[in-house]
Amino acid sequence: MTTTLASSLRTQIDRRHDDLVELTRDLIAFPTINPPGDAYQPCAEYLGNRLKDKGFDVKYVRAKGTPGDSDRYPRINIVARREGKHPGPCVHFNGHIDVVEVGQGWSVDPFAGVIKDGKIFGRGACDMKGGIAAAIIAMEAIIDSGHDYAGTLEFSGTVDEESGGFGGVAYLAQNGWFDKSRVDHVIIPEPLNVDRVCIGHRGVWWAQIETHGRIAHGSMPFFGDSAIEHMGDVLHRFERDLYPALAARLTDMPVVPDGAKQSTININSIHGGQDERDDGALPAPCVADSCRMVIDRRFLIEEKLESVRGEVKDILDNLSKTRENFAYTMTDLFAVHPSMTDPERPVVRATSDAIHQVMKKSAQIVCSPGTYDQKHIERIGKLKDCIAYGPGILDLAHQPDEYVVIDDMVNSAKVMALSACTLLGGNTDD
Ligand SMILES: [Zn+2]
């Protein structure tokens, strides 16, 4: 009796346990911090060299002229493609190689890949180098299983996801790399937990609001007009009118965690008056003639960007009418529309079935509170068969002492291998 494809893949992946751990640690060791976009090239080449050894055709794509791209910090993406013996669909794994800044509060070296209690610690362990490593092991297991798959396995390691993805997936999509003629199904191993399939995300609108005042001597504030006090009233109106309205608006999208099922707004920053000086000198006593605030509004698939924007503008326009000398400007910084893949699409079903097969429980279908590169694949690439699925734990992303659980990586690699083989037309029944 011959062993089934499914059990052969699982065996292949179990054998690669140590390789998976070392691959993850190697990836963590590249300090691909964004901004500024450090070590992108060596990290991309490391991935490219590994995949070349497995018969992939490897291309490096520099996103020339995109935000942050320079000779010192080139935006280098890697795309690796391996066609099977027979024609068929293409399953594409995409992972971002950039990580966010380290921040304070670490108990271990964030780039040493420390192993403790069955976990690998490091900046990017969870978001998302552990996921990239699991996807690569999954593809290598398919190749080494000897399965004569029909179609193509493809991987892209992309940059700048943490700063909007413009030099990464957006650039590749604009240049045809995600066209329907070459890619059919996309799995992005972002950290959404090993037993969940993520089908999309809420939308984002960032804007800067500036209130204007008139400068005067700080000892005689009555001769000026404080932009900070005007902004205080904006905050007050937000708390009084906007926050309750947003909290009452719930989505039918399966967003996790529960708190993100409603519309939300965060005030990312606020600054009024003169800049703080870093030379220790005291600022001069002046009434602030400007106060700027950056807002981060996350919106639901049931909302339209225009109404999201209009709701904030209405509050400001109302203040213009009712508050003496109130003047403001509002500038859009960027916007991303919500994205949601139909749960009946093949990649969702294949991955859910594989989770059930590997983990013996039903997959949870979720949406992400924040955005990720799916937006570019859907909006620019026009590709509808895309999910995020990976081993990391969502709540740990961007935190100090970020880690990925090794068993979760092994399980997710099995899920990705089974799912890919199903999508490539293989029989993955036990
Ligand atoms: Zn991520």
Segment 175-212, tens digit of pLDDT = 999 999 999 999 999 999 999 999 999 999 999 999 99
**Distance of CA 83 from the midpoint of ligand 1 (Å):** 27
Point out the catalytic residue in the list 69, 98, 373, 378: 98
- Predicted local confidence at residue 267, as pLDDT: 96
3-state SS, the chain, equals CCCCHHHHHHHHHHHCHHHHHHHHHHHHHCCCECCCCCCHHHHHHHHHHHHHHCCCEEEEEECCCCCCCCCCCCCEEEEEEEECCEEEEEEEEEEECCECCCCCCCCCCCCCCCEECCEEECCCHHHHHHHHHHHHHHHHHHHHCCCCCEEEEEEEEECCHHHCCCCCHHHHHHCCCCCCCCCCEEEECCCCCCCEEEEEECEEEEEEEEEECECCECCCHHHCECHHHHHHHHHHHHHHHHHHHHHCCECCCCECCHHHHECEEEEEEEEECCCCCCCCCCCCCECCCEEEEEEEEEECCCCCHHHHHHHHHHHHHHHHHHCCCCCEEEEEEEEECCEECCCCCHHHHHHHHHHHHHHCCCCEEEEECCCCCHHHHHHCCCCCCEEECCCCCHHHCCCCCCEEEHHHHHHHHHHHHHHHHHHCCCCCCC
User: What is the per-residue pLDDT for 427?
Assistant: 82
- Whether domain 208-336 has CATH 3.40.630.40: the reply is no
Ligand 1 centre distance from Cα of residue 325 (Å): 44
**33 alpha carbon to ligand 1 midpoint, in Å?**
12
pLDDT higher than 60, residue 406: yes
| Mean pLDDT, rounded, for 320-348 | 96
396 CA → ligand 1 middle, Å: 11
Confidence class for position 280, pLDDT limits 50, 70, 90: confident
Q: Of the listed 127, 140, 161, 385, which one is catalytic?
A: 161
98 catalytic per annotation: yes
- pLDDT digit string (tens) for 291-303? 999 999 999 999 9
Return the CATH class of domain 5-201+338-423: alpha beta
Residue 25 CA to ligand 1 center (angstroms) comes to 17
In the prediction, which pLDDT does 3 show? Answer: 65
| pLDDT score recorded for residue 62 | 98
Ligand 1 center–CA 154 separation, angstroms: 19
pLDDT at 398 over 50: yes
Per-residue pLDDT, 426: 80
CA of 198 from ligand 1 middle (Å) equals 13
19 is catalytic: no
pLDDT attached to residue 1 = 37
- 5-201+338-423 shares its CATH topology with 208-336: no
Distance from the alpha carbon of residue 34 to the mean position of ligand 1, in angstroms: 12
Q: What integer is the mean pLDDT of 216-239?
A: 98
Instruction: Select the more confidently predicted residue: 154 or 1.
Output: 154
Q: What is the pLDDT of residues 30-45, one digit of tens each?
A: 999 999 999 999 999 9
Tens of pLDDT along 419-430? Answer: 999 999 888 887
Q: What pLDDT shows up at residue 391?
A: 97
Q: What tens digit of pLDDT does each residue of 71-97 get?
A: 999 999 999 999 998 999 999 999 999
Domain coordinates in residue numbering, the chain: 5-201+338-423, 208-336
